[in-house]
């Protein structure tokens, strides 16, 4: 098989971040090639560089042996590189035929040749063996069919390389199978296909080879069949060996199992988010929620905190059954949730450190029982000292702090509410190593204070280090639990990858 696409030494920097560092990437004609990696690994940057959305800072691009340098998505399309994005980016109010030919409609002098438009659309759909009315309004079709139309549109430009960026995220099992059928067919036609997905089962079901990225660098290229699942997961996550010195310090002292759970769920679930699960958290324990990206970790947290409504099951707090249908209710019951998306769901960027710090507690007290200025300043001074928050002044807008200090402000915000349960979703993401360690020490301190902590992280070592027990999620289902002595990184990875004995 010939090399269809060859990238050599591709680099891309954004202010303060190296998104791609000397990445090689090769796709052959007639193969399905998976591009894998956790969030922030550089997958989408690589695709955007390849399709001309961003210019690359350095590197060599070859397509079919000829050197190329796509300057825009349009230029990339003309070279034969077509992309189907995760969200269908077509026009729902136009017909299928219009969507397939949009921007390159056959016609003359500004007049459209409708017959040619339909003929071309039918031909594109026929190639996918798709039976679909070309005059139907796109918005009326199922998401899966819209996805197929998007592929048909991509193929209409006589693509040589097709990039599918998480095309299966919103498809059900049957629709995925249908998509795979089309992918295999196109492979047989000699197309090169780049397939980005988070579902490992799908990687093994349909791809020939795969490339793993981590932190903007290429980890390696492998034949799919020759790479055991566990090894793949290990390569995606990367193991921090240097962290061994403070390993297991957090895993000590399992909680008192006789104590009643602070938070317990029974059959709690939400269709399309996470299958019904049972969970119980006791005071003084740190429970991990492990799983790959897209396994339902955040969805679980959102259910517990009332951000999404559960459609089955019950929750009880301190043994009393309750309904949590808003974060406000959750906070009232003594829950706290540090979201993984600091910027969108945590920070009030233009407000001061002081205001960010006290907002949750003030919200719990209500507007009328305002904290006095003296109380506020005392609270701030306490947490700024306790968490070693580096800020020039409590009145500094929180947006001016570094990521690690912003994270500490958010932690302080929740600690100030004196919660019984705190859910930490990726609390160490995007912060430097020093702050990371401080936050881990803090978590140990919370456990010692008798809080129940639910700890979500994609870094396996971090989970093993901090948790006394880990619940494992795979493909939106709680699939196992590891406690105490069994809690090792290897064992956890087995469960996350779904290869346990």
Partner 1 sequence: MKVRSPLLWPLAGFVALLLLNAVFNPAFLKITLLDGHLYGVPVDILVQGSRTMLVALGMTLVIATGGIDLSVGSVVAIAGAVCAVLLQDGHGLALTLVAAVGAGVLAGSANGLLVARLGVQPIVATLILMVAGRGVAQLLVDGQVIIIASAPFEFLANGFVLGLPLAPLLVAAAYVSAHLLLRRTALGLFVEAVGDNEQASRFAGLAAARIKTLAYVFCGACAGGAGILTAANIRAADAYRAGENMELDAIFAVVVGGTALTGGRFLILGTAIGALLIQTLTTTMYNLGVPPAVAPVPKALLIIGVALLQSERTTRWLRGLAGRKEAA
Residues that bind partner 1 (CB under 8 A): 307, 326-328, 330-332, 337, 339, 344-351, 355, 359-360, 362-371, 413, 417
Nearer to partner 1, 11 or 363 (CB): 363
Q: Which of 353, 351, 352, 371 is closest to 361 using CA atoms?
A: 371
Nearer to partner 1, 96 or 412 (CB): 412
Nearer to partner 1, 24 or 308 (CB): 308
Residues 9 and 5: their CA atoms lie apart, in Å, by 13
Q: In b/e form, how buried is each residue of 342-356, taking b as 16+ CB within 10 angstroms?
A: beeebbeeeebbbbb
Residues 373 and 70: their CA atoms lie apart, in Å, by 58
Q: Minimum distance from CB of 405 to partner 1 (Å)?
A: 17
Q: Minimum distance from CB of 55 to partner 1 (Å)?
A: 24
Nearer to partner 1, 50 or 421 (CB): 421
Nearer to partner 1, 98 or 355 (CB): 355
Q: How far apart are the first and last CA of the chain?
A: 37
Q: Which of 1, 63, 27 is closest to 193 using CA atoms?
A: 27
Q: Minimum distance from CB of 328 to partner 1 (Å)?
A: 5
- Which residues are CB-neighbours of 188 under 8 A, at least 6 positions away? 30
- Which residues are CB-neighbours of 235 under 8 A, at least 6 positions away? 212, 214, 219, 220
Q: Minimum distance from CB of 94 to partner 1 (Å)?
A: 24
Q: Minimum distance from CB of 388 to partner 1 (Å)?
A: 22
Q: Minimum distance from CB of 123 to partner 1 (Å)?
A: 42
Residues 353 and 356: their CA atoms lie apart, in Å, by 5
Q: Minimum distance from CB of 307 to partner 1 (Å)?
A: 7
Nearer to partner 1, 158 or 369 (CB): 369
Q: Minimum distance from CB of 346 to partner 1 (Å)?
A: 5
Q: Which of 141, 202, 144, 198 is closest to 171 using CA atoms?
A: 144
Residues 410 and 425: their CA atoms lie apart, in Å, by 12
Q: For the chain, what is the largest distance between any 2 Cα atoms, rounded to a whole number of angstroms?
A: 81
Nearer to partner 1, 254 or 363 (CB): 363
Nearer to partner 1, 124 or 398 (CB): 398
User: Could you give phi then psi for residue 353, rounded to 5 degrees?
Assistant: -55, -45
Residues 258 and 256: their CA atoms lie apart, in Å, by 6
């Amino acid at each position: 098989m010939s090399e269809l696409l060859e990238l050599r030494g591709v680099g891309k920097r954004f202010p303060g971040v190296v998104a791609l560092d000397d990445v090689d990437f090769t796709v052959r004609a007639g193969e399905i090639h998976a591009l894998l990696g956790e969030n922030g690994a550089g997958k989408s940057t690589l695709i955007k560089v390849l399709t001309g959305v961003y210019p690359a800072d350095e590197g060599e691009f070859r397509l079919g042996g000829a050197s190329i340098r796509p300057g825009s998505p349009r230029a990339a399309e003309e070279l034969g590189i077509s992309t189907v994005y995760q969200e269908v980016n077509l026009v729902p109010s136009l017909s299928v035929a219009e969507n397939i030919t949009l921007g390159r409609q056959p016609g003359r002098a500004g007049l459209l040749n409708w017959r040619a438009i339909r003929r071309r659309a039918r031909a594109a759909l026929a190639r996918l063996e798709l039976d679909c009315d070309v005059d139907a309004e796109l918005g009326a079709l199922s998401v899966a069919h819209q996805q197929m139309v998007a592929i048909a549109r991509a193929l209409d430009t006589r693509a040589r390389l097709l990039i599918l960026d998480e095309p299966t995220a919103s498809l059900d099992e049957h629709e995925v199978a249908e998509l795979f059928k089309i992918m295999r067919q196109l492979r047989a036609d000699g197309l090169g296909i780049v397939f980005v997905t988070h579902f490992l089962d799908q990687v093994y079901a349909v791809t020939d080879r795969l490339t793993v990225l981590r932190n903007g660098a290429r980890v390696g290229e492998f034949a799919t069949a020759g790479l055991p699942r566990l090894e793949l997961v290990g390569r995606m996550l990367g193991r921090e060996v240097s962290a061994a010195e403070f390993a297991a310090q957090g895993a000590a002292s399992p909680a008192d199992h006789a104590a009643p759970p602070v938070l317990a769920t029974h059959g709690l679930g939400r269709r399309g988010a996470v299958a019904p699960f049972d969970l119980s958290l006791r005071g003084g324990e740190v429970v991990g929620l492990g799983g790959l990206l897209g396994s339902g970790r955040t969805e679980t947290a959102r259910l517990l905190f009332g951000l999404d409504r559960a459609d089955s099951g019950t929750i009880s707090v301190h043994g009393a059954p309750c309904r949590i249908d808003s974060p406000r209710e959750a906070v009232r019951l003594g829950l706290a949730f540090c979201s993984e998306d600091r910027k969108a769901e945590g920070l009030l960027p233009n407000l001061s450190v002081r205001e960010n710090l006290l907002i949750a507690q003030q919200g719990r007290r209500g507007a009328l029982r305002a904290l006095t200025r003296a109380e506020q300043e005392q609270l701030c001074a306490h947490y700024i000292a306790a968490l070693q928050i580096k800020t020039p002044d409590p009145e500094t807008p929180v947006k001016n702090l570094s990521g690690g200090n912003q994270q500490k402000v958010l932690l302080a915000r929740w600690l100030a509410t004196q919660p019984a349960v705190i859910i930490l979703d990726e609390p160490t993401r995007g912060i430097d190593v020093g702050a990371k360690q401080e936050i881990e020490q803090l978590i140990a301190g919370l456990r010692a204070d008798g809080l129940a902590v639910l700890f979500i992280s994609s870094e396996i070592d971090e989970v093993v280090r901090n948790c006394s027990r880990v619940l494992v999620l795979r493909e939106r289902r709680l699939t196992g639990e590891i406690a105490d002595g069994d809690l090792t990184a290897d064992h956890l990875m087995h469960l996350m990858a779904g290869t346990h004995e």
